[in-house]
Amino acid sequence: MCEMETARPGPKRLAGDDGSNLVEYSMLIALIVVVCLAATTAFGNAATSKMDCASDAIVSQVGGVNC
């Protein structure tokens, strides 16, 4: 028969270590938000440039009025 291993206790926590997890998670979430905003801005500007180019090409072919 197999013997079950007993769970080993994790590392002991320091007395003033209670709020550090909240701070670490808050910083991680803030970093994720900053990266998402930067990516959205970069891709948004690229998409706007492409759409402007496409609309200018259509207007020049059709002979429409530029806004």
For 20-65, the pLDDT digits (tens) are: 788 899 999 999 999 999 999 988 888 888 888 888 888 888 776 5
Is 18's pLDDT higher than 70?
no
Entry pTM: 0.51
Mean pLDDT score, 2-11? 67
Q: Tell me if 45 sits within 8 A of 38, measured CB to CB.
A: no
Q: Residue 66: which residues within 8 A CB-CB, separation 6 or more?
A: 59
Q: What is the pLDDT of residue 58?
A: 85
